[in-house]
């Protein structure tokens, strides 16, 4: 029976495995390194919407003016937990907070407004860095579903990021 050793030292199967490993290691390294989608910070502009559940404020003219009326467009907004600049407020609006209820007369489920509660939506525009794994404002990651503790000079609130879209 033949030994099938190359130069009397290595088996032919061992040489095939060594060649495969030499080819696969650089490919594994290449595909494991995250790639940047955006060129630099500032090249990517993202608009994200923060939803905040609030009670309308009392004592502001006109009576029962909403919390959202205290928020001004064009103002900077910050993360209140770390003090990081998040971007500029481009839009703000509110809608009544609604819950599902059973209507016995029509035997259906319908939505009704909850008195004294509203959902406030703050649309923020910011420069970000986008990679394969996360979207960053500076070193701060943002994503849909992430809790947002925000403040400006006129208000402070807590909510969640509910939508995010790339502007350019």
Q: Are residues 24 and 53 in the same domain?
A: no
Structure confidence at residue 65 as a pLDDT band (50, 70, 90): very low
Question: By residue range, what is the domain housing residue 87?
Answer: 44-166
Q: Are residues 72 and 109 in the same domain?
A: yes
Q: Flag whether 70 is in a domain.
A: yes
Structure confidence at residue 58 as a pLDDT band (50, 70, 90): low
pLDDT in tens, 101-132: 888 888 899 888 877 778 889 999 998 888 77
Q: Are residues 157 and 127 in the same domain?
A: yes
Over residues 146-168, the mean pLDDT reads 88
**Res. 63: pLDDT tops 50:** no
pLDDT in tens, 16-38: 888 888 888 888 887 777 655 44
Q: Are residues 23 and 54 in the same domain?
A: no
Q: Are 87 and 137 in contact (CB under 8 A)?
A: yes
Name the helix (H) or strand (E) containing 13: helix 12-32
Q: Flag whether 39 is in a domain.
A: no
Which residues, in sequence order, are CB contacts of 131 under 8 Å at separation 6+? 34, 35, 36, 37, 38
Give 64 or 125, the one with higher predicted confidence: 125
Q: Flag whether 3 is in a domain.
A: yes
Which residue, among 118, 149, 98, 134, has the nearest Cα to 55 in the 3D structure?
118
């Amino acid at each position: 029976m033949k030994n099938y050793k190359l130069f009397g030292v290595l088996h032919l199967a061992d040489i095939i495995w060594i060649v495969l490993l030499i080819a696969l290691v650089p490919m594994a390294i290449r595909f494991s390194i995250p790639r940047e989608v955006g060129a630099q910070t500032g090249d990517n502009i993202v608009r994200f919407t923060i939803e905040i559940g609030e009670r309308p404020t009392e004592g502001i003219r006109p009576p029962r003016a909403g919390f959202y009326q205290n928020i001004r467009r064009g103002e900077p907004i910050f993360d209140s937990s770390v003090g990081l600049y998040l971007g500029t407020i481009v839009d703000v609006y509110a809608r009544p907070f609604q819950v599902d209820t059973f209507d016995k007369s029509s035997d259906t489920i319908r939505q009704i407004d909850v008195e004294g509660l509203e959902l406030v939506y703050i649309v923020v525009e910011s420069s970000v860095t986008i990679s394969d794994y996360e979207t960053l404002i500076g070193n701060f990651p943002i994503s849909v579903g992430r809790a947002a503790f925000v403040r400006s000079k006129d208000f402070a609130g807590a909510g969640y990021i509910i939508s995010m879209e790339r502007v350019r």
